[in-house]
Amino acid sequence: MAPSFPILLTLLLALSVSATPLTVARDAHTLVSLPIAKRVNVTGVAQIVKADQARAKQLKARALGQGHQGKRAGSEPVENQGVTYVAPVAIGSPATTYSLIIDTGSSNTWAGAGTAYARTSTTKDTLNIVSVTYGSGNFEGQEVTDLVSLGDGLTIENQSVGAAFYSEGFSGVDGILGIGPVDLTEGTLIPSVTSTIPTVTDNLFTQGVIGAHEVSVYFQPTNQANVTNGELTFGGTDSSKYVGEINYTPLTTTSSASNYWGINQAISYGSTTILSETAGIVDTGTTLVLIATDAFNAYVNATGATSDSATGLYKITAAQYANLQSLYFIINGVSYELVPNAQIWPRALNSAIGGTADSIYLILSDIGSNSGSGLDFINGFAFLERYYSVFDTAGSRVGFANTSYTTAETN
């Protein structure tokens, strides 16, 4: 910090003699919004259930400090995600624009999986290698600092990013925009450093680009395989994307959900409680809604669903769909309803996941362990496509609001 003192002094002097007010930092209410595109990989057999379950397992292992210390995933098969949400992020000068997966469940930002990382004059090497293992893949790279631009040319100087030289499981995308809690960056550098790596959100806030330390996500439900239908907003909420008020819930203190954007929630099917209040996470990197095995069995029992080996999902008949009850997610005393149409996979995309056109597949799946595990549900984008979500670092809370698609019959 010391070397910057003369510059700061000069700036203060310049300000004090200036007749017209200078804008040093951006307006404190500036919002930075990025378009989000949904991609369903129609060329590969999308094993979305396996990919989601592998992710759940990895999230639990990682929170316990196992499984990501620079090891490549040797024994675990890597599942391509099949469904991803990506945003365009420009890095360097002249900039290269990369399609990065928006991930609230991890916090390192990196590029170079598809499009190779293009070094420019703004790219500065650090002394570290970076390595992260995800449920659906892993990467290793050179940790650099660089100029990162989001939205309308709003730039973050000196953002620490990974320039991947190896990655597995990220076909069709270039890397990850990690917007999870900063603590998840701990232990990702080699040689290891004791401090965390400030995330994109952290730097936008500390560099004065945004006025609030939070990020909001809007996913509009879609039945197209490849469409720009969402928005990621840094620094606040976009009131044109939700209706009514935003209700907040404090972050959970239950581990391992507490390592992520973790909350407490109960779930009812119709009037029957299938999951008593317990801890889990909200995650943009998960496609489905995963719930504890005992809760899922109760749901299957209540709906009459049967498992489908082609997709890995459960399916119901037209008659069972006609009788399907709403699911209610009770979060901090507020009930968030998933109407029957919100519980099924978009039928227009059945073939994209290896299913048959006239089948009705459910978007709920088994997390792979009974409730009481410390991470008993994942509200993935099947939930987030129905509710606007706010990830508020400063307030240690997560918010949800209705959208015009909360009860829409889009599937």
Ligand X SMILES: *[C@@H]1O[C@H](CO)[C@@H](O)[C@H](O)[C@H]1NC(C)=O
Contacting residues toward ligand X, per CB under 6 A = 39, 41-44, 80, 145, 158, 160, 171-172, 197-198, 225-226, 244-245, 247, 297-298, 301, 402, 406-407
From 52, 283, 366, 392, the catalytic residue:
283
Q: Which is nearer to ligand X, 26 or 61 (CB)?
A: 26
Q: Which is nearer to ligand X, 80 or 411 (CB)?
A: 80
Q: Is 294 a catalytic residue?
A: no
Query: Which residues face 316 on adjacent strands?
Result: 360
375 three-state secondary structure: coil
Query: In angstroms, what is the minimal distance from the CB of 41 to ligand X?
Result: 4
Q: Distance (Å, rounded) from C-alpha 83 to C-alpha 261?
A: 21
Which residue stretches of 191-340 are H helix? 200-206, 293-303, 318-322
From 52, 103, 202, 366, the catalytic residue:
103
Q: List, as one string, the DSSP characters of 158-175.
A: EEEEEEEEEEES-TT--E
Cβ(390)–Cβ(399) under 8 Å?
yes
Q: Which is nearer to ligand X, 206 or 396 (CB)?
A: 206
Query: In angstroms, what is the minimal distance from the CB of 67 to ligand X?
Result: 23
C-alpha distances (whole Å) from 310 to each of 130, 136, 342, 353 are: 37, 19, 21, 8
Query: In angstroms, what is the minimal distance from the CB of 293 to ligand X?
Result: 11
Q: Distance (Å, rounded) from C-alpha 170 to C-alpha 267?
A: 33
Residue with tokens 């209706």: 243
Q: Distance (Å, rounded) from C-alpha 367 to C-alpha 39?
A: 23
Chain centre distance of CA 95 = 24
Q: Is 27 a catalytic residue?
A: no
Q: Which is nearer to ligand X, 62 or 386 (CB)?
A: 386
Query: In angstroms, what is the minimal distance from the CB of 254 to ligand X?
Result: 24
Residue with tokens 């799946």: 365
Cβ(378)–Cβ(367) under 8 Å?
yes
Query: In angstroms, what is the minimal distance from the CB of 244 to ligand X?
Result: 2
Q: Which is nearer to ligand X, 115 or 255 (CB)?
A: 115
Annotated catalytic residues are 103, 283
